[in-house]
Structure 1
């Protein structure tokens, strides 16, 4: 995400990456339209008519026109359903502040950012919730941000330079005053983690007690992640973008052209040697363990220093070594850093500046940047205000009814999966029956309030926005690490902090206790609106819920039982079929070539998300069909009555065609070359191929859109299916 967004997504969570739309809801924010609810189904035609107000009709016409504007009608849906559904999206969206890809879902974050601006003015609500002091501090920072000069980044500001010098120094600027003998690339990288900057330690936290950090290989580069082949020469986009970013920072320090060129060249030389080490790995953590074993390297000896700098000396391992650190990688990287010591210090200094950089190109983007910064860094405070004002019981009731229908649908799939033997089916049904769910967020008022009180420690410096931003970044990271820093004070069943934040555009399945979460922030178009036809609701939010349910039974979820314990509850026969069916997804998605970067989708890395997409879509359609049957059986003496039209005004589509269109338009996106590289080895398939992979493995889609066997969207009769 760009720097304004708030959540790092752990590989231990299997998420439906949700976010969404750039327009203001015509019924007020967010749920004030009068509308039919899934759980309160009208029983006769007159009641149905009464639920459709003029305001609702106007809204549906407007939203139908919006959906239509995203589509490319010159493309046959059976040739390329993504292009048919989303081909014009990038041409009609509102320009936004973003250094990441734009996505119909991700754009919901801008809606939440606008609400943040409103929330900060609600002094009466702040008083009622006993957070007046914290809101006043947030408002002070927000006002300072609005008034600051953030573009271009004042890289030479004394606050930034003082911080850089305190953690390792900036040889490009300090010249002979920089002391190479006292420089530690590892310690400087450890300091950078305290501010959320990407250096040479790529840290995340395990989402269960004791919430210790774990480590992934670092991603090198600034605006464009670098790989060996894409910085082989200076003409590539990756080279040019990173060079431009570095020269921009160095210009602030009035370096000569010759000196700036030498600094940039040095950083690229370091990257190339560091990438040669990284190229020995693939994206899986097993390769790290395997290489450590093959090379018999001793434990890398500097990790204790990292814990002292970043975690106040907390010892999660009681003095014992951990095998999670990828010792081979860091041993080899240490040799590279010794060779390029000055270049490494320059790179890490600019990595800190990049973290502080608003990356605002136009002055009109500054307000959005400030909103996103407050939302992302003061999330627990803003969330408390948001949930009190914008999440109601009626919405909760409808989502709860939808979850019930989706789970009934999935349970029927388990019951009819003829490849499961009796005992494995029993275990699977027990696990499904044991799933708990939370709508809005997980509630732990005591823990949330404890975190909110920490915002009182934020020092907003009146005459230095850079220093205020440094203080906010440091506080934000300490709160992200809060559970780990205090693991000896909290209960062993404490939930991850991310589950307390309803104001995020995410849904979760949590293997550790067999639970799923639909967060309040997701409940906006293009994922949900109460006025929508049910066909659209099930194709969007219904699919997303089904996606999370299916994660309990993907290749990771299948290793946990009904209590969330890691246990093999599979018979050998059923497990063999399960693996074979899972491999079908690996093979299928691995065939997708991304022409913009000449790379293929990593089918193995993305298999669980792809399994969840397929299962979620199938469950949602079955649940929708069941729901319609219930409506048709309403009335006295089981008289059949037609439900209110489940079509969208302005779209010449059947309800079930609308179902699939809604699903596809969740993933409408606009990528630049650097975004493909950034997401290439992530666990979620790139949006376009996420849609194509799901519909080409759906027999229902082929039937509903009348796609002939052999067409691009119906290439073969045997499709991939786990559930």
Structure 2
């Protein structure tokens, strides 16, 4: 049983709401972030500027930083702790999993000592029977879909098609091909700190649109690609000239451009449903290509999914964006010289492996990355980020979590956080009970949904169990003398772990516990709060006012996603169906129109653009619901447990200051533009604070804001 489930049940068996005999004293001295406060600003005019006006004087972000806030600051702290753990001596009593993580880190940091021979890519070339780029131009080549699938499975790098796996309800999972319509978790904050992989993937797509032929002034990506190709030529027995090699790269670029443009569609495309079983996909493919042996989907997919231990059958469900993209891609590969396809596949792998290759390739990658204007991490930090999976799905991070929770964290705080979760859940139940805009039938269903909410808190249950932890990483091969191979294993393991979701498991942890974020998953009706978020500034464990205003609001935010414009379409079991009456849906739509209008009036002066209140609706509903539920739970607690203030601010004022200072941050113009232009995205931080607090009478009362002031408008938007 999941540790959190046990903890929550233990908490519930005692008196959750017993009053404490002790008095908690709290003042502004307990809020370190009060140094961001600018008391020259009227809190009733702009509470964000009041609470965060001096943040920009405390921190000076680099020119490559898009967002600097408490999430990124916490991430930096966690990475430093991770580096300390990973660089420490390998102890006899360390679990095997921890030894593997430390070994992988050492190999990564000391890559020049542990990457022998040079040009490690040549091992792959030998494994796949050669590379056309390095072979005589008149030599024939074969490259089947099963060979493509084998590379995908071994390297964890998508080739031609992209596959993701997710649950479409608590009892059913599916593969998504090319795009991901499986309603990914709604995260608390946007991910701007991209991994090297994400930047490379973005570049592939940009280059596919830009590049027609080589230019006289090659772009950074072209230089990177050519440097790698030249190195491979030098380390092989190839007789090709540089001009022939460049011609091959041009052919690859043409293929890449066609691939990202949707392939070749030279015939009428038969209709294809979505989702579709693998058997029906095969029948459609055979019919579309008039019986030609184009691809065996069962064999191909099983090759990709082999390492996950999941078997693809005729009945496996696949979501696909449209039949044209599948036909166009299959037809493109069919009509393309296999040599070109193989060159593309291998070069794509080598480019993604570049940060862990020899010094020549790493230097080429670093030059490219710097030319793109992105932040290049030091080697130790890069290695720590890779193993901690700070902005990615999980691989070795759970092994590091073992040492973190045992030696660097007060594990009792998880039980305190579990109690806070339960209080916010109870408060939300009471809010549902009192919601007059919901009719009896819809309210009853909503209450059942929140009762069926699963909360994963801290980390997976096997982390504390050395036997279970070692079993989890049993097939994870790590070699201190082979960083290139380790990087390959990490990618393959990461992909295989995500593919395991094809076996429905509601308690599945997909992301790293070091990802400073929280999220709600609609198909599972599941909220995940990793141990990363159970740290200051978000959670102290002994500062009730701050804990409720910050982590409490985050918890409320994630719960609210279960009932936002998308969440309301998923029932208690995560099934996509209508479970509200039309009367309640109409009332919901009317209430949310207020939020759309409110946020659409906010003008972001830095980029001279208004927020799109429709784009950010779900996050705005979650922000408003989160802080409101946290405040209600906090007031209920203070009615039972005495908390006294000893400074210049009242308890309510400190609650709202705590909430606002959690969002203090600096956003580049690039980040602001992305935020306001992204559907289902977030507003800038300033308006996450102003928008939610200006809708609360309790806030206006706490700061004596006159009616009609910016923070106390006459018309307030309220849902939960």
With the length of structure 2 as denominator, give the TM-score of the two structures: 0.70
CA shift, 1:379, in A, is: 2.2
Contact 1:680 1:686 in 2 (8 A): no
Q: Which residue of 1 aligns with 2:326?
A: 330
Q: Is the 8 A contact 1:145 1:465 kept in 2?
A: yes
Aligned-pair CA distance for 1:540: 1.3
- 1:398 aligned onto 2:416: yes
Distance, in Å, in 1 between the alignment partners of 2:681 and 2:611 is: 10
The alpha-carbon deviation at position 336 of structure 1 amounts to 5.6
Q: Tell me, in whole angstroms, the C-alpha distance in 2 between the residues paired with 1:673 and 1:175.
A: 44
Distance 1:604 1:84, change over 3 A: same
Partner of 2:121: 160
In the alignment, the residues of structure 2 paired with residue 403 and residue 621 of structure 1 have an alpha-carbon distance, to the nearest angstrom, of 13
Equivalent of 1:521 in 532, 535, 556: 532
Contact 1:601–1:685 (CA<8 Å) still a contact in 2? no
Cα-to-partner distance string for 1:87-111 (whole Å, 9 max, x where unaligned): 6657754879999855431443333
* Distance in structure 2 (CA, Å) of the matches to 1:96 and 1:409: 42
**1:352 aligned residue (349, 354, 359):** 349
Q: Give the conservation status (yes or no) of the 8 Å contact 2:302–2:311.
A: no
Deviations 1:309-360 (A, max 9, x none): 3112954453577454633222234456678878776665454344334477
Alignment partner of 1:373 is 2:386: yes
Aligned match for 1:576, one of 576, 586, 598:
586
Offset, 1:419: 0.9
SS at match of 2:155: coil
Task: Summarize the alignment of residues 708-719 of structure 1 with structure 2, pairs less than 5 Å apart.
Answer: 717-719=714-716
Q: Distance in 1 between matches of 2:130 and 2:438?
A: 61
1:213 corresponds to 2:175: yes
Conserved? CA contact 1:585–1:720, under 8 Å: yes
Residue equivalent to 1:304: 298
Structure-2 separation of matches of 1:265 and 1:74: 61
Contact 1:228 1:276 (C-alpha < 8 Å) held by counterparts: no
Secondary structure in structure 1 of the residue aligned to 2:164: strand
Distance 1:453-1:90 versus aligned 2 partners, 3 A rule: farther
Cα deviation code 1:659-678 (max 9, x no counterpart): 3423423xx25447489659
Q: 1:189 to 1:328 in 2, by over 3 A?
A: farther
Tell me what 1:29 maps to: none
- Please state how far the C-alpha of 1:413 moved relative to its aligned partner: 2.1
In structure 1, which of residues 102, 116, 123 is the aligned counterpart of residue 82 of structure 2? 116
- Residue of structure 2 in register with 1:612 after alignment: 622
SS at match of 2:219: helix
Give the 3 Å change call, closer, same or farther, for CA 327–597 of structure 1 in structure 2: farther
Aligned pair 1:468/2:486, yes or no? yes
**Secondary structure class of the residue paired with 2:163:** strand
**Which residue is 2:431 aligned to?**
413
Which of residues 670, 695, 698 in structure 1 aligns to 2:695? 698
Which residue does 2:226 correspond to in 1? 250
Structure 2 CA distance for aligned equivalents of residues 196 and 100 of structure 1: 28
In the other structure, the counterpart of 1:4 is none
1:157-202: CA deviation from partner (whole Å, max 9, x where unpaired): 532344367569766x536459785346896477346534355433
Compute the displacement of 1:612 (Å).
Answer: 1.8
The yes-or-no answer on 1:505 pairing with 2:516 is yes
Deviation at 1:380, TM superposition (A): 2.6
Q: Deviations over 1:410-433 (max 9, x none)?
A: 233223321112232233334334
Does residue 443 of the first structure (1) align with residue 455 of the second (2)? no
Residue 546 of structure 1: aligned partner:
556
- The corresponding residue for 2:445 is 427
Q: State the Cα distance separating 1:230 from its structure 2 match.
A: 11
Contact 1:438 1:517 in 2 (8 A): yes
State the secondary structure of the residue aligned to 1:158. coil
**C-alpha distance 394-459 of structure 1, shift in aligned 2 (>3 A):** closer
CA-CA distance at 1:616 after TM superposition: 0.8
Distance 1:169 1:179 in 2: 11
Structure 1 pair 617–647 and aligned structure 2 pair: CA distance change class (3 A) = farther
May I ask how many residue pairs the two structures share in their alignment?
A: 635
How many angstroms apart in 1 are the aligned matches of 2:609 and 2:135? 42
2:647 pairs with 1:643: no
**Equivalent residue in structure 2 for 1:134, among 88, 91, 97:** 97
Greater alpha carbon shift after TM alignment, 218-227 vs 367-376? 218-227
Given candidates 155, 161, 164, the residue that maps to 1:201 is: 161
Tell me the equivalent position of 1:17: none
3-state SS of 1:518 partner:
strand
Question: Unmatched 5+ residue regions in structure 2?
Answer: 1-15, 181-193, 232-240, 266-271, 276-282, 289-293, 356-364, 390-394
* 1:655 Cα deviation from its structure 2 partner: 1.4
Q: How far apart are the structure 2 equivalents of 1:343 and 1:675?
A: 40
TM-score norm. by structure 1 comes to 0.69
The answer for the alignment partner of 1:21 in structure 2 is: none
The separation in 2 between residues aligned to 1:242 and 1:77, in whole angstroms, is 53
Q: Which residue of 2 aligns with 1:658?
A: 657
Following superposition of structure 1 onto structure 2, how do residues 74-153 of structure 1 map, counting pairs within 5 Å? 89=55, 92-93=58-59, 102-120=68-86, 127=93, 132-149=95-112
SS, match of residue 643 in structure 1: strand
In the superposition, relative to structure 1, how do residues 674 and 538 fare at CA in structure 2: closer, same or farther (>3 Å)? closer
SS at match of 1:254: helix
The unaligned stretches of length 5 or more in structure 1 are: 1-37, 281-286, 291-296, 635-641
Q: Name the CA distance, whole Å, in 1 between partners of 2:324 and 2:305.
A: 23
- Aligned mates of 1:190, 1:683 — CA distance in 2: 36
